[in-house]
Chain A
Amino acid sequence: MLVLSRRKGEAVIIGDGIKVTVIDVKGDQIRLGIDAPRTISVHREEVYEQVLAENAAAAQTADPRSPLLRQPPRRPRTD
């Protein structure tokens, strides 16, 4: 892994069209500004990994003949 030191206000350029700027540093939290082409998706890693895992779980359980899908919903709730 390439490791670079940057100060607040400094940036790194990745490839032709991606610029990552250190906006602010407070304690152990760093604010990054990311300029990238529209075709590049930028996500917080942990959220992206969760969605990826949930997609895989949904694919594994995707039985269109499941009796669950024939039953009416009870009281919805969110966890």
Chain B
Amino acid sequence: MTLTTTTPVLRFPTGIPGLANVQDFVLESLAEGDEESLFDLLRSTDDSVSLIVTQPWNFFPDYAPDLPDDELAEIGIEHAEDVTMFCSVTLDHDEGCIYVNLVGPFVVNIKTHVGRQFVLSDADWPLRARVDLGTGVA
């Protein structure tokens, strides 16, 4: 399932660590035709940088990070239903796998489209949660 059907500008006021000082992004589905995709593209509006992202529960149904209330309040989130979350994906073509970053989830206020990347220092979620892709082993 994709995250959005429209493409509002998502604003990350504090930027995303390691991605220069870019603040404005759009989220684009990677679905093609009738085929749904588990992935979206988080692309900066100036086209300088992009990330493949996915909703973590697509691969890790038990993922339930504890997000600090004060950091949620910083992007105006008071209720759980105000939130959408996605995680970045690193592709490894040699290994035929992807790695989902479960330490640094992106959280966006769906009402204001303001977001930030959380850094979960105290949790035991893996930084590179591996998912093997491809045909063969079921």
A residues within 8 Å of B by Cβ?
Answer: 38-39, 41, 43-44, 47-48, 50-59, 61-64, 66, 68-69, 71-79
User: How far is the CB of B69 from the nearest CB of chain A, in Å?
Assistant: 10
B residues within 8 Å of A by Cβ?
Answer: 14, 16-19, 30, 37-39, 41, 49-52, 59-60, 70-71, 73-74, 88-93, 96-99, 101-104, 117, 119-121, 126-138
Residue of A whose beta carbon sits closest to that of B13: A39
* Between-chain CB contacts (< 8 Å), 9 pairs: A38-B74, A39-B74, A43-B121, A48-B119, A51-B117, A58-B101, A74-B132, A74-B137, A78-B126
Apart from A51-B104, A74-B134, what are 8 other A-B pairs with CB-CB below 8 Å? A41-B71, A55-B17, A55-B104, A59-B50, A62-B52, A69-B30, A74-B136, A75-B137
Residue of B whose beta carbon sits closest to that of A65: B30
Given A50-B103, A55-B88, A68-B93, decide whether A75 and B49 contact each other with a Cβ distance below 8 A.
no
CB-based A-B contact count at 8 angstroms: 136
Secondary structure at the B interface, as helix, strand, loop or mixed, is loop
CB neighbours of A38 from chain B (8 A): 70-71, 73-74
Q: How far is the CA of A74 from the CA of B59 in the complex (A)?
A: 10
Q: Are A44 and B130 in contact (CB under 8 A)?
A: no
Q: How far is the CA of A61 from the CA of B90 in the complex (A)?
A: 6
Q: Are B18 and A47 in contact (CB under 8 A)?
A: no
Given A55-B18, A68-B93, decide whether A75 and B132 contact each other with a Cβ distance below 8 A.
yes
Residue of B whose beta carbon sits closest to that of A79: B130
CB neighbours of B30 from chain A (8 A): 64, 69
CB neighbours of B132 from chain A (8 A): 73-77
